Amino acid sequence: MDRLVVTVLFLFMENELPQATWKERILYFFGRRRGFLIEGNSMAPTLLDGDAVLIDPRATILAGDIALAKHPYKQSVKILKRIDKINTDGSFELTGDNEVESTDSRTFGPILSKDILGKVVCRLK
């Protein structure tokens, strides 16, 4: 039964991020999208290690979106997590879908809006 629930959930979450359309690929070509390769499994099962995604740097970020952000303590590192909550001061609480394994706002606190780099819009592979 658990397996069935997880499978249905997995299929549902798979649909959350569609494959890149030609339109998205053209936007990437013209620099309106940025491509990223995922390292790690803190966003499993939505995104797995080795998956590639496109980011829209101009998109409005809402709770529930998957966002790319600068790591609060290692500014050269970019992290990919889900927006769990937007605080009243405009900062963002980020959580990995794989909560058991994820290092996120529960550990390093909220992320400032200036450090949010974009929203994941589709997967490349």
21, exposed or middle or buried, with CB in 10 Å at 0-12, 13-18, 19+?
exposed
Token code pair at residue 90: 């405009």
> How far is it, in rounded angstroms, from Cα 109 to Cα 113?
13
The SS3 assignment for 98 reads coil
Instruction: Respond yes or no on whether the N-terminal peptide bond of residue 45 is cis (omega within 30° of 0).
Output: yes
Per-residue contact flags (x/-) with another protein for residues 50 to 89, judged by CB under 8 A: --xx--------------x--x-----xxxxx--------
Judged by beta carbon, residue 15 or residue 76, the one nearer another protein is: 76
Judged by beta carbon, residue 63 or residue 77, the one nearer another protein is: 77
> How far is it, in rounded angstroms, from Cα 17 to Cα 121?
7
Q: How far is the CB of 97 from another protein (least distance, A)?
A: 9
Q: How far is the CB of 58 from another protein (least distance, A)?
A: 17
Judged by beta carbon, residue 8 or residue 48, the one nearer another protein is: 48
Q: How far is the CB of 4 from another protein (least distance, A)?
A: 24
Q: Which residues bind another protein (CB under 8 A)?
A: 34-43, 47, 49, 52-53, 68, 71, 77-81, 96, 98, 100-103, 106-107, 109, 124-125
